[in-house]
Every structure is written in structure tokens, then in C-alpha cells.
A and B are shown apart, each in its own frame.
Chain A
Amino acid sequence: MIINDVVCPFCGCLCDDLELEVEGDRILRVQNGCSLSEATFMNDTRLPAPIRRTASGWEEIPYADAIKETADILRDSDRPLLYGWSSTHGETQSVGVHIAERIGAVIDNTSTVCHGPSILAIQEVGHPGCTLGQVKNRADVIIYWGCNPIEAHPRHMSRYTTFATGFFVPDAQRERTIIVVDTRRNDSGGIADEFVQIEPGGDYAVLSALRAIVRGKESIIPKKVAGIAKEQLIRIAGICTNAKFGAIFFGLGLTMSRGKYKNVRNAIELTDELNRHTKFVISPMRGHGNVYGSNEVFTWMTGYPFAVDFARGIAFYNPGETTAVDILRRGECDAALIVASDPGAHFPRAAAEHLAKIPTVLIDPHVNATTALSRIQIPCTAAGIDAAGTAYRMDGVPIRLRKVIDRGYPDDAEILKKIYDRLNGELGP
């Protein structure tokens, strides 16, 4: 059977034009998807049943036992951490927030180690953004700053920016100017009209220099700024101010290098400056399929986008204190529930070490690096493959993930709901 318009749940692009050939509970072929998408659907090797760590290895346990034990761990914990949420749908994230509120936990999502700084900057100066459809149909200047879409979001250029024919950009190939800014010449830089090689940690200075040039103060710029010649900076500022519609996309090269959220703030203020001359927008390149959704769900339920601490009975947000990495590094939490993510592969060593010390439960369809740090792992559906739900694209557009096959696994929202009901029953109203 051929299913059209399937949404790929892997990265923040959430391409919704895939064509899948399925037979029973198997996916046979993926059309239109990139190699990451293909691997997401085709190499979907799941853990067959819940597992619990024993003295010598692992043992399989029934779902009911795994759910009971997880609820016990969370109930007995003084400062639990609920982390992850970005590779599943909004319905699961919502149950997660309810659990956090019920047991006074800290709930955090993966943006804490990726675009958290972007959110801090947006909270300070706002977000002059737009949907990717607007970029596709209008933008004639595209800037990729500190990101490599070819590796991380392979279809971003062909679907939304560089090569896609737009309503006001009919000859995309000729009419669009692509600028790539990075510390090294990456694959995306290879096909850019203008590649800007920046010295590591020099983003803030370069953004400030561009702001000054756009303001007409180019005389105060030194001959070189973070390894970039003044002439090139003036040329780039010229391209930007002469654009009909410009779009800046930035990645972790900006948010996680020296300066962090100040870099993003400066980039947003450059966008603001450019808007005095033309129309310019800026957007983060969100990584996980539904990381934007976790920010949305957390925000509408708690008021804060990530790192929400319910220990006081009310939502408290203080990045640097209530963020997952800081809580783990300080050895503060005494139990962890990880859902739909892999902190074992991405967290600093000290944080991962603490995860291994405390009772950690992982709810994820696949065996990953966090499995090695966990006490229990409960396999579940993968959102967008065998579970339907809402996800948010990197530009904030909600897209319904589709269920294309049934592999007989329980939905992670269901598992969490059972844990929540059990906690409610035991802890009382």
C-alpha cells in the first residue's frame, strides 16, 4: 500500500511530502525523503519489551511491572528530573508536564543543550521570524550562520530556501544569494555564493561589525574582524541591505560558542537593524523533529519553554540552575525519567555519570547510549511511524504526525498516563 503526504518526524524540517510503501507492519520504501529520513523509517530497530537491569545484565519484564516500578521510583524521589521530550508528539509532552507538576519535579527538554540560548535571546529582544513558506516564496538572500543544513537538515535548501522555486522568486537558482558563515568550510559553504570563514568565538564581534556597517559607521571597523576582511563585511552588508527579503538561519555554531545567547541577541538586533532598510527575518535551525513543540507545550502549560522546576509547587524557571545539565552536574537529582531523547550521548561526562548513579528510567523505542545508564527501559511507539500526534516544525507551524503502521507497541503518552494515574492514586488528590 502506498501512503502519500507522510511527515518525516526526524528533524525540525518535518518534511510532509513523503511517499511510503508499507505492507502490514513493515515499511518497504521511502520516497522523497533524505537519507536521514530513509534511515528513520527503514532502520527502525526497536527494543522488543521493557527491560530491567539485574546484577549481571538485563531481564525482560512486563509493561505493568515496568510502569509500577517507574512510578515507585518517581514517588520515592525527592528531586526527580524529567528530561527529553523532543522526539515525541505534543500529547506525550503534555502528560509529562502534568507528572512534573504532580510530583514537584524539574522538567526540561533538549533545547537546554541546543537552542536554549536562542530562547533566552528571544525573551530579551523578541523574534522577528516567519514561516518557511514565506522564506521560500519571497527570500532572495539566505544566510546560514553556524549551521550545516546539508548534514543536519538535508532538505532545507531544496524544500524551503536555495533551490526551490518561489512565488516571487521564480528563477531561484539565479535570484537567490546564499551566504554561509562558519568556522570551517563545510558542505553547505561549498555551494554558497559567499562563504565567510569566521575565527572560532568571533561571532559576536562580526555581528557587531555588520550592525555598525548597516548603521553607516563603517569607518570605525578595523581592517579585519575575527579573521574576516573589512571589504567582505561591507560586501555582505551591501548584499543584505539591497535584498528584497532576507532570511537568517542560525545553528549551534552561534548558540553554543563563546557568547552563547548574547550572540543570538546580537544576530536578532542585526536583523532589526536590517529591517530599517528592507525586510529581514531570523530563525533557529531546530534539531529534533518536535523540539519546537516541547517549547510550545511547556510554555502554554507552565509559562516557560524549558528548565521548569515544580519543587516549590509553582513553575519556576532559572536557566543555569534548573537546567538538566546543571542539576545533574551538581548531583542534585535523585531519580530521572528520560523520554524520547538520548542524553547519554550528548550530555557532559559529569552529568552522564550522575545519571548512571541514580535510578534512571528511559522511555524510548530504540536502544541508545542512555540505555547503558538506565535501570529500566520501556519501549514505546515512535511518533510519526506508529503513533499519531502533533509536532511543531522549526518555524512554529504545527503539523500532525501520521501513524503509518502498527507495530503493537503502546504509545508513550499511554505509558506516561498510566504512571501519572498510579502516582495520583498513591499520592492522593
Chain B
Amino acid sequence: MGFSLIWYLKEFGRTAWIKKFLFAKTAPLTTPSYFRGFPEPTGRICQHALFCMMACPAPGAIEVVHVGKGWMPRIHKGHCIRCGLCVEACPHGVLKSGRILETMEREGTSLVFSFRVVIDPVLCTGCGNCCTSCPVNKVADAQMGAGGHSSNDEVIMKVQAGDVVVIHEEKCTGCKTCEGACPTNAIRIARILEGTQQTVHEGPP
């Protein structure tokens, strides 16, 4: 009878079954030869562009941390899916993984980030929090960083006619500090990742 206690004891009390259950051995986990390894440093200096973190599709797999006086990406192997997007997205070739860098060089491919700054004039109150908090603005115009007063046109955005107006979108680094500073969610940064390919001349130049 399948549901009686004695049946269960008989079934699972067998020495063979207990041995199999407790001492089963499975083959050790090995990385197949055709798998790409985790990203590793190439030795080049990290410029803190953070594009690796922006491109990474696996949450928490990569973060850029302080190492000594500089920065360095750190891979969390439990989260990394070894897709290699961070390697491709890094504009400074800080990481390598398998044949990615060689392939990119040979085929002239690269991943390029660009950023769109979009302001909703209906929601924007012109408080200037985004303009003041923006790290690029702080460098481009110290007056802006010190209190929202724009003294030049080198900034990404400034307050004009009661709303924030984008002047130099191309300077945006996609850090989204402004999004966190905006109380009305009026500013949105779109991170756009595009693959490009340049014509490669085969043979000796």
C-alpha cells in the first residue's frame, strides 16, 4: 500500500538507497573548452566611464570600485553570464574575455554609447536641481555647481524661461545623477547602445 508508514520505511530504509542518497558522486563542474572565460583585466587604466555597468544585462554582475587611487571593474562571478558586453562596451579596453578584443579589432566592430536628455516641460518646475547636481555641469561651470547660476554655455543643461533646456547633450555621460535629483521625474536620460562597424582593409596597408 503506497501510503502506509511501513511501506515508506521499507522503501527508504534499504541500505542501497541510503548509500546512494548520501554518497552519490556527480562529475565535478568544469568549464567546457569552447566556453569563454570571465572578463579579466588587460592592464589598461580604467577611466570610470562606467559603460561596462551600463551595458551589463545581468544585475549585479559588474561594478566599478576604487582600487588604490584609481578605479577598476570588479566581476561578481555568481552573477556574470559571460556575455562579454562589458568587454565590448568599454571604450578604453580595460577588460578582455576570450577572443572578443581580437575579433573587434579584426572586424572593426565596437559598441558605442550615446545619451539622450529628455525634459518634460509640463512636469519641470525649473528648480535647477538637475543642473546643479550634474557632475559634468559642476566642472563646466563652477557657478552652476555652486548654486544653479549659469555663467557660460558650456553646460549640458541650464534653466531658461522657467524650464530646463538642454544645450550640450553630447557631453552627457549617462550617470543619471539628475534623475535622482529631480523631484518631479521631469528629466529622463536614455542610454542608447549601438553596434557599429568600420570598413577594415584586409591585407597589408
Contact = CB atoms under 8 A, between A and B. Distances in A.
Interface of A: 17, 29-39, 42, 136, 150-151, 154-155, 157-160, 162-166, 172-173, 187-188, 190-191
Nearest to B162: A38
B147 A29 contact: no
Contacts of B127: 34, 150, 154-155, 157-158
A163 B133 contact: yes
B150 A31 contact: yes
B27 to A, nearest CB: 49
Given A154-B125, A163-B133, A164-B145, 16 more contacts: A33-B162, A34-B127, A34-B128, A35-B126, A37-B162, A154-B128, A158-B127, A159-B149, A162-B129, A163-B129, A163-B132, A164-B148, A166-B146, A173-B177, A188-B183, A191-B129
B184 interface: yes
Contacts of A157: 127, 129
Nearest to A19: B150
A165 B141 CA distance: 12
A191 B183 contact: yes
Nearest to A16: B149
17 contacts: A30-B161, A30-B162, A31-B158, A32-B159, A35-B126, A35-B162, A37-B126, A38-B161, A39-B162, A150-B125, A158-B129, A159-B147, A160-B147, A164-B132, A165-B146, A166-B146, A191-B181
In the A-B complex, the 4 residue pairs with the smallest Cβ-Cβ separation, listed nearest first, are: A38-B162, A154-B127, A17-B149, A35-B162
Nearest to B143: A17
B183 A164 contact: no
Contact of A38 (B126, B133, B149): B126
B183 A34 contact: no
A150 B163 CA distance: 14
A173 B175 CA distance: 13
B55 interface: no
B160 interface: yes
Contacts of B60: none
B187 interface: no
Nearest to A157: B129
B54 interface: no
Contacts of B146: 136, 164-166
B87 interface: no
Interface of B: 124-129, 131-133, 135, 138, 142, 145-150, 158-163, 177, 180-184
Contacts of A30: 160-162
Given A33-B162, A173-B177, A165 B126 contact: no
A32 B158 contact: yes
A107 B131 CA distance: 42
Contacts of A36: 125-126, 162
B180 A191 contact: yes
A422 to B, nearest CB: 41
A159 B184 CA distance: 18
Query: Which of A154, A188, A190, A191 has the most chain B CB atoms closer than 10 A to its own CB?
Result: A154
A36 B182 CA distance: 17
Given A17-B147, A17-B149, A38-B126, A31 B160 contact: yes
A34 B131 contact: no
Contact of A32 (B124, B149, B182): B149
Query: Which of B142, B162, B181 has the most chain A CB atoms closer than 10 A to its own CB?
Result: B162
Contacts of A164: 132, 145-148
A32 B148 contact: yes
B183 A32 contact: no
Nearest to A132: B147
Contacts of A33: 126, 159, 162
Contact of B126 (A154, A172, A191): A154
Contacts of A191: 129, 180-183
B162 A34 contact: yes
A173 B138 CA distance: 11
Contacts of B150: 31-32
Contact of A158 (B148, B163, B180): B148
B177 to A, nearest CB: 7
Contacts of B177: 173
A140 B149 CA distance: 21
Contacts of A166: 146
A163 B181 contact: yes
A360 B165 CA distance: 44
Contacts of B184: 150, 187
Given A136-B147, A150-B183, A158 B132 contact: yes
A92 B147 CA distance: 31
A155 B163 CA distance: 12
Contacts of A151: 125
Contacts of A38: 126, 161-163
A35 B124 contact: yes
Contacts of B180: 191
Given A33-B159, A34-B125, A34-B162, A155 B183 contact: no
B126 A190 contact: no
Query: Which of B149, B160, B163, B180 has the most chain A CB atoms closer than 10 A to its own CB?
Result: B149
A158 B145 CA distance: 9
A42 B126 CA distance: 15
Nearest to B131: A158
B161 A155 contact: no
Query: Which of A38, A150, A163 has the most chain B CB atoms closer than 10 A to its own CB?
Result: A163
Contact of B163 (A35, A173, A188): A35
A410 to B, nearest CB: 29
Given A150-B184, A154-B125, A154-B127, A31 B133 contact: no
A157 B127 CA distance: 8
